[in-house]
Amino acid sequence: MSIIKVENLTKQFKRTKRKKGFFGAIKTLFSNEYEIKTAVHDVSFSVEKGEIVGYIGPNGAGKSTTIKTLVGILVPTSGNAEVKGIIPYQSRIENARNIGVVFGQRTQLWWDIPVVDSINLMRHMYKIQDALFEENMKIFSQVLGIDEFINTPVRQLSLGQRMRADLCVSLLHSPDILYLDEPTIGLDVVVKENIRNFIKKINKEMGTTIVLTTHDMDDIEMLCHRLIVIDKGHLMYDGDMGSLKAKYGSNERLTIITEKSDVDLKGLLALGVSEFKYNGIKADIQYETDKINAMGILEWMMQRCRVKDFSIHQVNIEEVIRKMYRELDERSKMMK
């Protein structure tokens, strides 16, 4: 049984058409012209219980709009969403009991008072049982180190501490579903690592279903079982990481350092190399693994010059996504 179901979701925003310049701005005051912007267009997907789904796409793709519909704070223009059998934008408060939400760029903590006061408020707002509360607090102190700054006013916390505290308050009631909107934005490597481990642990031990939007490809590589990619409101990909790599990432990169020579690498193109750069010393060669392998290229090179060093770069998800975004961008330019 799917815990989240999204069917043909479309959300359009109406906004006043703005004209350029000073007089344009004045004209805008009196004009009635609107333009319709479609943030999400006919998106359908479903999420199973216990999954960690990465919901990714370039800036302005419609990720946040989808998440906001799922948490019940935006009403879709058409289509449906269902979360644990509840239509979130119709029963927002009922839905709120089942979910935890962290928006990386905002906080739900009380700004001027210590973290512990926000925690106590959540405890009563979600009517958390004492036993569950104490158990969860124990986990959060261990893994997130909440204890260190529980009595500090939120405005004095570092970004990393604040994010840990935000995670803590959004998970206190052990929600079935956790929405994370860029949870690692602006954090240092250690804190990122810490938070990723925590998310993993929550998913494994509590069976929490997690929907994660992020621009950090390491988040995706380390956390997500499955990826949903959206661009300009359209669903572009939905499936596991392996097939995405296969689809967009059959490229590998080989860097070769040679002694100075003037070999023309054009000959490689016929063998299955898709791109190369060579300045006489350092060669950067991209190739498709189903046509040629690193050995083949190295042999070809060694016949023509002295190779001093080389390294092979595996495709990582970042390159896959970069390639995918670029293709999406080109495709939409062509359509125009």
Partner 1 sequence: MKAYIEIIRNSFLTGITYRVNTLLRIFGAVVSLLVQISLWYVLFQSKPDATSHIGAIKLSEMVTYTIVSTLTHIIISNQVIMRLDNKIKTGQIAMDLIKPMSLKAILGSEMIGTTLYNVIFRSLPILLIGIFLFSFQFSGWLNLAFFIIALFNAAVIFFELSYIVGLTGFWYTTVWHMGRVLDNAIRVFGGSFIPLWFFPESLYHISMFLPFRFIYYTPILIYIGKVDMKGVIEIILQQWVWIAILIIIEKVIWKFGIKKLVIQGG
Q: Is 34 in the site for partner 1 (CB under 8 A)?
A: no
Q: Which residue among 25, 26, 125, 302 contacts partner 1 (CB under 8 A)?
A: 125
Q: Which stretch binds partner 1 (CB under 8 A): 43-51, 118-126, 192-200, 269-277?
A: 118-126
Q: Is 91 in the site for partner 1 (CB under 8 A)?
A: no
Q: How many residues does the chain have?
A: 336
Q: Is 56 in the site for partner 1 (CB under 8 A)?
A: no
Cβ contact 303:256 at 8 Å: no
Q: Which residue among 1, 29, 36, 93 contacts partner 1 (CB under 8 A)?
A: 93
Helix axes 159-171, 130-144, angle to 10 degrees: 150
Q: Is 108 in the site for partner 1 (CB under 8 A)?
A: yes
- CA distance to 31, 65, 77, 226, 232, per residue, from 17 (Å): 8, 21, 20, 38, 20
Q: Is 187 in the site for partner 1 (CB under 8 A)?
A: no
CB of 258 to partner 1, least distance (A): 47
Cβ contact 212:223 at 8 Å: yes
d(CA 146, CA 144) in angstroms, rounded, equals: 5
Q: Is 296 in the site for partner 1 (CB under 8 A)?
A: no
Q: Is 33 in the site for partner 1 (CB under 8 A)?
A: no
Cβ contact 154:146 at 8 Å: no
Q: Is 260 in the site for partner 1 (CB under 8 A)?
A: no
The pair of structure tokens assigned to 74 is 């935006």
Residue with Cβ nearer partner 1 (169 or 297): 169
CB of 282 to partner 1, least distance (A): 40
CB of 214 to partner 1, least distance (A): 12
Contacts of 49 (CB under 8 A, 6+ apart): 1, 2, 3, 176, 207, 209
The pair of structure tokens assigned to 235 is 């669903």
Q: Is 120 in the site for partner 1 (CB under 8 A)?
A: yes
Residue with Cβ nearer partner 1 (155 or 306): 155
Residue with Cβ nearer partner 1 (124 or 333): 124
Q: Which residue among 3, 47, 71, 163 contacts partner 1 (CB under 8 A)?
A: 71
In a 10 Å sphere around its CB, with 0-12 CB exposed, 13-18 middle and 19+ buried, how is residue 39 labelled?
buried
Q: How many CA atoms lie within 13 A of 41 on its CB side?
A: 12
Binding residues for partner 1, rule: CB under 8 A, are 13, 64, 68, 71-75, 92-94, 96-97, 99, 101, 103, 105-108, 110-113, 117-118, 120-121, 124-127, 153, 181-182
